[in-house]
Amino acid sequence: MLRGIHKASSTWLGRIVLAVIMGLIVVSFAIWGIGDIFRGFGLSTVATIGRTEISIEQFRNYYNERLQQLGRRLNRPITPDQARALGLERQLIGQLVAETTLDERARELRLNISETEIAARITSDPNFIGPTGQFDRFRFEQTIRQNGFTEARYVAEQRRALLRRAIAGSLTDGLKIPNTALTAIDRFRNEQRNIEYTTLGPAQAGDVSKPTPEMLTKYFDERKILFRAPEYRKLTLIVLSPADQARWATISDADAKKVYEDNRDSYGTPEQRQVRQIVFPNADEARAASERIAKGLTFSALATERKLKESDTDIGLVAKTAIIDPAIANAAFALKQNEVSAPVQGRFGTVILQVTKIEPAKMPTYEEMSAQIKRDLAASRAKSDMLSLHDKIEDGRAGGSSLAEVAQKLNVTSRTIESIDRSGRDPDGTPVAGLPAGVDVISSAFASDVGVENDPLQLPGNGYVWYEVGGIVPAHDRKLEEVKEQVETRWRDDEIAARLKSKADDMVAKLKTGAKFAELASASGVKLATATGLQRGKSDAAVSPKAIESAFRIAKAEPVSADGVKPNERVVLRVTEVIEPKLDTNSDEAKRLIETLRGSIADDLIGEYIARLEAQMGVTINQAALAQVVGGSNNSN
């Protein structure tokens, strides 16, 4: 969450959801680290931070908005019970208190952000950029409306986020990473080791006789749970997706041409202009500057006089819709090339504009767009058909029909899976193929029961999956006779593994007393091999992950044994060379490492700062009011 605070001003509302998902655990340091903060007080207030109160209604709105955003992110709603089980109310009140604490600090310091800066941030947000590559006001308004924000409220939220970022930046800007830390992490990541090793397999275990009935029975009785039959369920599925429906749609040229004619403007590239602007603190200064320009002063000279760099005045090559302020947009697109405007009263101040370049609108022909239009039209009709089919399927289920009966009546495809376990396998242990991607239908089915009418799961892209449990075979212990072959195989593998471990341990002990590795390997009927350039956490074609892991836990020349690539293999190895990396601080890898460390240390600094502010201001959480919002008990933790 601290990372989310640091980056909040450059993200959009959907990323607030990501901040909730990725940061919920981290933010708790700011609240739950303070002992005994849950104390009862007025039921109208959930929390107080200094003299600021967070009301029940304020937290309820915040809580519900975050749950809705998280639900959209996951493509399924989050129920109150699920939210409580995840402890989201604690994480969200923690996040809100941390944000409010920074807001309080900003007020104490009398910090503010200009309207121009906020507008620049919003118009440069990639989430509001349209198909033309410029700011799309319609997309902006649609996005914030979908997330429950008015424009005024969104701007206010951005102002607070920018101020929080400014406070965080004052703590972390210019943060330097100690070379000791860089060297230690680089060594951990990039150190290489060479080893010599040998692999012991079944041949080195000797002859393993077949177990007696008594031995097998004893082995089975001690490990019955390993051979237990899992729960299996019979499922019926109906899967509908717009992509499947669109494949059967036929779009005529007449229909596609009508769409093209009705939406010509949306297919082309609108007129774009290179716009420059100078913002004045008041209208009088703007008028005075305009009069000087009328007498021959150039726009660039005026900008230089006001100590403005080119980047300070350049809005960029933009379409009219990309300019957030309608008054400025209209004025800029009424100018001729290189013409300077009269003062324009915009939403965020009085400005003078200049247009230095004009690129005319471009319009593709129908022939260039026909294929895309037909695809889009087919997908659109498929979505409409999907909604109709969805309602018909729901009506059929409401009438008491099974999914298979509904599918037959509506001439859609249903699928019956006779037997599947929680891992998605059939009784033979084979993964069941063709399960719908994008949803966890297995977990949902195993959370249901026979005869339960389940809500359909929503697929990415507005598809649906209906599922029905037709039967349940409970998990149960198997008898030895049912799994005798499996038990014998496992007993044999365990016996081989025990013998190989004993042999490997004996070899390690002899190596420690000075025996020659090559002679020990030869005496066991195996060859001594070498592997070079091994690194932590990276695989090698010949050496098992356990052996690589062990190689980095021992000193040079120290022998050790580890599991091999196969279950019935054992590796004996020792390190012959340790190759320490030489960090080049100018390399791309070093720069990425520095940035990662800087972010981690910055998070810690900001976290400590917020915790200190909370301790100074005083933070109190009303657990009873919190429970009133989310339901459940009000026991403090």
DSSP string, 438-507: TS-HHHHHHTS-TT--PPPEEETTTEEEEEEEEEEE--BPPPGGGSHHHHHHHHHHHHHHHHHHHHHHHH
Is the Cβ–Cβ distance between 342 and 272 less than 8 Å? no
Same domain for 29 and 154, yes or no, is yes
The pLDDT confidence band at residue 247, using thresholds 50, 70 and 90, is low
User: What percentage of the chain carries pLDDT values higher than 90?
Assistant: 46
What's the average model confidence in pLDDT over 140-165?
86
Asked if residue 523 has pLDDT above 90, the reply is yes
Q: Any idea of the CA torsion for 364, 369, 370, 371, to the nearest 10 degrees? A: 160
Same domain for 137 and 240, yes or no, is no
Determine the pLDDT at residue 67. Answer: 82
What's the average model confidence in pLDDT over 101-108?
92
Same domain for 316 and 463, yes or no, is no
Determine the pLDDT at residue 3. Answer: 35
Nearest to 620 by CA among 7, 45, 92, 26: 45
The pLDDT confidence band at residue 632, using thresholds 50, 70 and 90, is low
Determine the pLDDT at residue 415. Answer: 93
Same domain for 162 and 143, yes or no, is yes
User: Comparing 14 with 252, which gets the higher pLDDT?
Assistant: 252
Asked if residue 417 has pLDDT above 60, the reply is yes
473, 503, 526: which is the final residue of a domain? 473
CA-based torsion, 474, 475, 478, 484: positive or negative: positive
Task: Look at residue 365 and tell me if it is in a domain.
Answer: no
What's the average model confidence in pLDDT over 13-31?
37
Same domain for 134 and 10, yes or no, is yes
Same domain for 236 and 384, yes or no, is yes
Same domain for 487 and 454, yes or no, is no
Determine the pLDDT at residue 43. Answer: 54
What's the average model confidence in pLDDT over 140-160?
85
Question: Which residues form the domain of 214?
Answer: 192-228+483-579
Q: Any idea of the CA torsion for 252, 254, 259, 260, to the nearest 10 degrees? A: 110
The pLDDT confidence band at residue 383, using thresholds 50, 70 and 90, is low
Same domain for 237 and 221, yes or no, is no
Q: Which residues pair with 197 in a beta bridge?
A: 529, 573
User: What percentage of the chain carries pLDDT values higher than 70?
Assistant: 89
Domain count, the chain: 4
What's the average model confidence in pLDDT over 138-166?
86
Determine the pLDDT at residue 365. Answer: 83
Same domain for 17 and 121, yes or no, is yes
Task: Look at residue 329 and tell me if it is in a domain.
Answer: yes
CATH number, position 442: 3.10.50
Task: Look at residue 55 and tell me if it is in a domain.
Answer: yes
Determine the pLDDT at residue 429. Answer: 86
The pLDDT confidence band at residue 547, using thresholds 50, 70 and 90, is very high
CATH number, position 306: 3.10.50.40
359, 393, 410: which is the final residue of a domain? 359
Instruction: Provide the mean pLDDT of the chain.
Output: 84
Give pLDDT tens digits for 40-50: 344 588 899 98
301, 333, 359: which is the final residue of a domain? 359
Determine the pLDDT at residue 336. Answer: 93
Determine the pLDDT at residue 322. Answer: 82
Nearest to 627 by CA among 35, 19, 40, 109: 40
Give pLDDT tens digits for 424-461: 999 988 999 999 888 899 999 999 999 899 999 988 76
Same domain for 400 and 489, yes or no, is no
Determine the pLDDT at residue 245. Answer: 56
Asked if residue 635 has pLDDT above 80, the reply is no
Same domain for 221 and 339, yes or no, is no
Asked if residue 503 has pLDDT above 80, the reply is yes
Task: Look at residue 260 and tell me if it is in a domain.
Answer: no
Is the Cβ–Cβ distance between 168 and 5 less than 8 Å? yes
Determine the pLDDT at residue 467. Answer: 95
The pLDDT confidence band at residue 29, using thresholds 50, 70 and 90, is very low
Asked if residue 78 has pLDDT above 80, the reply is no
Determine the pLDDT at residue 6. Answer: 35
CA–CA separation, 539 and 316 (whole Å): 48
Q: What φ, ψ does residue 562 adopt, rounded to 5°? A: -155, 165
Task: Look at residue 586 and tell me if it is in a domain.
Answer: no
Determine the pLDDT at residue 382. Answer: 63
CATH number, position 42: 1.10.4030
Asked if residue 18 has pLDDT above 60, the reply is no
What's the average model confidence in pLDDT over 271-292?
91
Determine the pLDDT at residue 244. Answer: 62
Is the Cβ–Cβ distance between 381 and 241 less than 8 Å? no
Same domain for 291 and 312, yes or no, is yes
Task: Look at residue 636 and tell me if it is in a domain.
Answer: no
Give pLDDT tens digits for 325-357: 889 999 999 999 999 999 999 877 899 999 999
Determine the pLDDT at residue 11. Answer: 37
Determine the pLDDT at residue 63. Answer: 86
The pLDDT confidence band at residue 243, using thresholds 50, 70 and 90, is low
Task: Look at residue 635 and tell me if it is in a domain.
Answer: no
